[in-house]
A and B are shown apart, each in its own frame.
Chain A
Amino acid sequence: MADASYPDELLYHADHDWARIDGDVATFGITWFAQDALGEVVFFDPPAVGSTVTKDESYAEVESVKAVSDVIAPLSGEIIEVNAELGDAPEGINDDPYEAGWMVKVKLSDPSQIEQLLDQSAYVASLT
């Protein structure tokens, strides 16, 4: 499992989710802290492409051997792509939470919500 890291270029949600913004599309995943708390991920249940997600609400479930955790959407929008690789290799969420472990891509319905997210330093501060 990789060492703790929280990339500068991402924005964060207090429920331990990150978002990478690219115009009106954002990629979501869970942070190093979240995957570490969960332990070895054994299953990721992605939402359907085309479904909508709402900021601060659960859009997927991620499972370790003895725990199930809701994954919270940092922003609202419509799912345009899910990371199918995680179906066979959910360990990507542990090994590389910010690249191989990305979960969904979302077309944002309200980009102004971005302002409510935390930057790297604010998120890291929230962890202590």
Chain B
Amino acid sequence: MSRYTAVTDTDRAAMLDAIGVGSLEEIFEAQIPAGVRLQGGLDLPDGLPEQDVYAHLLELSKKNTSAEDEITFLGAGMYDHYIPAAIDMLLGRSEFLTPYTPYQPEVSQGGLQVMFEYQTAICELTGLDVSNASVYEGPSAVAAAGYLAKLASPKRPRYLVSGALHPDSRQTLETLSVGYGTEVVEIPLKDGVTDVDALRELLADGGDQVSAVIFQQPNFLGAIEDVQAISDLAHEQGALSICQADPIALGVLEAPGNQGVDVCVGEGQALGNRLDFGGPSFGFFAATNAHIRRMPGRIAGETTDADGRRGFVLTLQTREQHIRREKATSNICTSQALNALAGVVYLSWLGRDGLVELGELLIQRTHYARETLTAIEGVTALHGQPVVREFAISLPDGVDVGEVIALAQDRGVNPGFDLGRVRDDWKGGLLVALTEQRSRSDIDRLAEVLDESIRAYQGGERSPLGRSGSTQEVAA
């Protein structure tokens, strides 16, 4: 018996007696072939008391440098926004934390209404008609949107994908394309944004093979894309416009649904979810009404009960795997309900004005940061496009970005993401992200440390921990 089970010897005897066997072993012997029984138990250590487990997990946590331990400008898909205390409290409530998917709507009205509210918030942010109750996370949401396009146009096997789509989204789509029977063709960039002329050319030749044009707003380099122009070109050839968006930026940028986008997806972490080293978070997924029956995942809808009271249920379930099986619109089985709850609470906490104020603050501080960093000798903007909360710079020629990041981290500042880790032609690039938790004095400190680290690198200094990034990739 562990602390999480409760069968005493007395219980056990009574239970075996009721079952009509002399021992538990009889039950196993009767069902499991002897050849596949494990002899001698698992080769794992014995269990530990709660306080010892806590101590061990605390010790492991201390071996990590978190956003609490350094001034961090790392973003590239996940962002260190402040999470209001109310979210911790609400997500910790048993009634939200411990139920399963709402299979019994009569006793799941809380969760179902949260989904309904969440869907409303996502529709508002994206300017689209219908949102599902969330999917796993951002990049796999992009791949799921690709599948929707395949279902909409089964005879068009090609996706045109912006070179500034998040590399994880791009790679996830490529991985799944093997199963979809689709291919991914890149649209080149021009001065940091999707090259609309190149897109036009890619569509002019074989556009009838393209099911969707997929891009990101703001894009991976932080730049604002011309969403309307991209969508219009896609539609001219009968392809869908699929946009991965940063939900925080959508507070100030035009809703993709108002700029011709058919499907808008994205990573929801920035909305009240912790970094958690990459998850769990949620992916949002919204589309125009035309695609309602091709949507993946759970969707909550409003209805009434037997006495006429307003209530909520999971609906349009015939799309889903448990009913349509091999013809389902997706194999996804759950939403990220708890993370989506954090999302809608966060958006309600910000409120109508707060979301805009947050966006405006980020625009100003990001501009200030870009100006300040590009004033450092040898540092230039990687592109000159308007940005909301993230921007790319180039370090001086001959400077190894990974080494400079390590030196800056030794000085207590994480300056951002080494763009050379994803593309060779971005070598020398640094992607810097802002949240409202990074003040002007943090930005000034970043500029100081970055300058100092570049000079230190040029002077031959190296971090005792070694270059930032995978050890093996450095060696290779």
Task: Show the binding face of A for B, using Cβ within 8 Å.
Answer: 43, 45, 63-68
Q: How far is the CA of A45 from the CA of B292 in the complex (A)?
A: 13
Q: Point out the residues of chain B lying under 8 angstroms from A67, CB to CB.
A: 318, 323
Which residues of chain B (306-330) have a CB below 8 Å from chain A? 317-318, 323-324, 327
Q: Interface of chain B, helix or strand or loop or mixed?
A: helix
How many inter-chain residue pairs (CB < 8 Å) link A and B? 16
Q: How far is the CA of A64 from the CA of B293 in the complex (A)?
A: 14
Which residues of chain B (358-388) have a CB below 8 Å from chain A? none
Shortest distance between the CB of B323 and any CB in chain A (Å): 6
Shortest distance between the CB of B320 and any CB in chain A (Å): 10
* Cβ-closest chain A residue relative to B313: A65
Q: Point out the residues of chain A lying under 8 angstroms from B327, CB to CB.
A: 68
Q: Point out the residues of chain A lying under 8 angstroms from B317, CB to CB.
A: 65-66
Which residues of chain B (374-419) have a CB below 8 Å from chain A? none
Q: Point out the residues of chain A lying under 8 angstroms from B293, CB to CB.
A: 43, 45
* Cβ-closest chain B residue relative to A62: B318
Q: How far is the CA of A64 from the CA of B316 in the complex (A)?
A: 10
Shortest distance between the CB of A63 and any CB in chain B (Å): 5
Q: Interface of chain A, helix or strand or loop or mixed?
A: strand
Q: How far is the CA of A65 from the CA of B301 in the complex (A)?
A: 13
Q: Point out the residues of chain A lying under 8 angstroms from B318, CB to CB.
A: 43, 63-68
Shortest distance between the CB of B325 and any CB in chain A (Å): 9
Shortest distance between the CB of A128 and any CB in chain B (Å): 29
Q: How far is the CA of A67 from the CA of B327 in the complex (A)?
A: 13
Q: Point out the residues of chain B lying under 8 angstroms from A45, CB to CB.
A: 293
* Cβ-closest chain B residue relative to A69: B318
16 chain-A/chain-B pairs, Cβ below 8 angstroms: A43-B293, A43-B318, A45-B293, A63-B318, A64-B318, A65-B317, A65-B318, A66-B317, A66-B318, A66-B323, A67-B318, A67-B323, A68-B318, A68-B323, A68-B324, A68-B327
Q: How far is the CA of A43 from the CA of B319 in the complex (A)?
A: 12
* Cβ-closest chain B residue relative to A45: B293
Q: Point out the residues of chain A lying under 8 angstroms from B323, CB to CB.
A: 66-68
Shortest distance between the CB of B313 and any CB in chain A (Å): 9
Shortest distance between the CB of A108 and any CB in chain B (Å): 28
Which residues of chain B (204-236) have a CB below 8 Å from chain A? none
Which residues of chain B (45-100) have a CB below 8 Å from chain A? none
Q: How far is the CA of A64 from the CA of B324 in the complex (A)?
A: 12
Q: Point out the residues of chain B lying under 8 angstroms from A65, CB to CB.
A: 317-318
Q: How far is the CA of A66 from the CA of B323 in the complex (A)?
A: 7
Shortest distance between the CB of B311 and any CB in chain A (Å): 15
Q: How far is the CA of A45 from the CA of B327 in the complex (A)?
A: 15
* Cβ-closest chain A residue relative to B314: A65
* Cβ-closest chain B residue relative to A42: B318
Q: How far is the CA of A113 from the CA of B253 in the complex (A)?
A: 61
Residue from A45, A67, A68 whose CB has the most chain B CB atoms within 10 Å:
A68
Shortest distance between the CB of A106 and any CB in chain B (Å): 24
Shortest distance between the CB of A116 and any CB in chain B (Å): 28
Known pairs A43-B318, A63-B318, A68-B327; list 11 more (Cβ under 8 Å): A45-B293, A64-B318, A65-B317, A66-B317, A66-B318, A66-B323, A67-B318, A67-B323, A68-B318, A68-B323, A68-B324
Q: Point out the residues of chain B lying under 8 angstroms from A43, CB to CB.
A: 293, 318
Q: How far is the CA of A123 from the CA of B158 in the complex (A)?
A: 48
Kindly supply a per-residue 1/0 record for chain B positions 321-346, scoring 1 wherever the CB is within 8 Å of any chain A CB and 0 otherwise: 00110010000000000000000000
Shortest distance between the CB of B324 and any CB in chain A (Å): 6
Shortest distance between the CB of A71 and any CB in chain B (Å): 14
Kindly supply a per-residue 1/0 record for chain B positions 275-293, scoring 1 wherever the CB is within 8 Å of any chain A CB and 0 otherwise: 0000000000000000001
Q: Point out the residues of chain B lying under 8 angstroms from A64, CB to CB.
A: 318
Q: Point out the residues of chain B lying under 8 angstroms from A66, CB to CB.
A: 317-318, 323
Q: How far is the CA of A69 from the CA of B378 in the complex (A)?
A: 67
Residue from B317, B318, B323, B327 whose CB has the most chain A CB atoms within 10 Å:
B318
Shortest distance between the CB of A93 and any CB in chain B (Å): 15
* Cβ-closest chain B residue relative to A67: B323
Q: How far is the CA of A67 from the CA of B322 in the complex (A)?
A: 10
* Cβ-closest chain A residue relative to B324: A68
Closest 9 CB pairs of A and B: A63-B318, A68-B318, A68-B324, A68-B323, A66-B323, A66-B317, A67-B323, A65-B317, A43-B318
Shortest distance between the CB of B158 and any CB in chain A (Å): 24
Q: How far is the CA of A45 from the CA of B324 in the complex (A)?
A: 15
Shortest distance between the CB of A103 and any CB in chain B (Å): 17
